[in-house]
Amino acid sequence: MIGDNLQQVRERIVKACTTVGRDPASVHLLAVSKTFPAEVVREAHAAGQTAFGENYVQEGVAKIEALRDLRQTLQWHCIGPLQSNKTRVVAEHFDWVHSIDRLKIAQRLSEQRPEHLPPLQVCLQVNVDAGANKSGAAPHEALALARSVASLPRLRLRGLMAIPEPAPDFESQRDLFLAAARVFEAIRQDGIELDTLSLGMSADLEAAIAAGSTMVRVGTAIFGRR
Ligand SMILES: *Cc1c(COP(=O)(O)O)cnc(C)c1O
């Protein structure tokens, strides 16, 4: 069943790309496995999925440990809000963090990233619909934050993540995603190399792809309802 769901999501991605004239290979699929057990991740991996997203640090680390045998072929992304007291365990276990919204968190992750691991791949979370969704840096703060984060030695800044509120139709959803895409372009114009725009979930991945998403984070459509 998970294999079929993955196949359907991959087909949605291809179709969404084709509709807007994009190469389907330019959009990566992150399977969001929060609340589902390690054995379900194993099943998705057997169906060819390698990148997984977790919101809750403790739960994510427990799964990473339970799937040690697959560690070399799995990529673990921390996508949930991050408190200072959790940065060490994240720096020690995950490959990516999408939810950096302030410099202090980034500094701690850089200091705490173990020497034997490659730099932690990170995205800044930007709050594009101010007020509605409280996590994330304000768009006008994003460039300064990007400059600071890009200079941290044990992090590699890859891009931006945003989670706009659900909108009533495709165009308004796409417009919210486009606000994130504009911040992304402004940072690139500044000379900072970014390649990842983490936008879109089960319900709105087509609108995100129309706005330029390079990574969709999909839970429900792959694993079922939580
Ligand atoms: C849960 C979650 C997702 C996946 O959402 P679905 O609607 O289940 O696809 C994506 N991104 C973040 C940050 C999440 O917390």
DSSP letter string over 95-127? SEEEEE-SHHHHHHHHHHS-TTSPPEEEEEEB-
pLDDT in tens, 128-180: 987 666 789 999 999 999 999 999 999 999 999 999 999 999 999 999 999 99
pLDDT in tens, 171-202: 999 999 999 999 999 999 999 999 999 999 99
**Residue type at position 61:** V
Does 66 score more than 90 pLDDT? yes
Q: Ligand 1 atom closest to Cα of 203? A: 7
Fold (topology level) of 2-223:
TIM Barrel (3.20.20)
Calpha distance 144→162 (Å, rounded): 17
Asked whether 220 lines ligand 1 (CB < 6 A), one says yes
Percentage of residues in the chain having pLDDT higher than 90:
96
**Closest residue to atom 12 of ligand 1, CA basis:** 79
Supply 20's token pair.
């807007």
Residue 68 is predicted with a pLDDT of 98
Residue 130 is predicted with a pLDDT of 74
Pocket test for ligand 1, best of 12, 35, 79 (most atoms within 8 A of CB): 79
**Closest residue to atom 4 of ligand 1, CA basis:** 219
Pocket test for ligand 1, best of 8, 128, 217, 218 (most atoms within 8 A of CB): 217
Residue 193 is predicted with a pLDDT of 97
| Residues in CB range of 130: below 8 A, 6 or more apart | 138
Residue 134 is predicted with a pLDDT of 75
Paired strand residues for 123 = 159
Calpha distance 113→169 (Å, rounded): 41
Distance of CA 125 from the midpoint of ligand 1 (Å): 14
Distance of CA 186 from the midpoint of ligand 1 (Å): 26
pLDDT average, residue stretch 117-127: 98
Domain boundaries, the chain: 2-223
Asked whether 217 lines ligand 1 (CB < 6 A), one says yes
Distance of CA 219 from the midpoint of ligand 1 (Å): 6
**DSSP 8-class letter at 137:** B
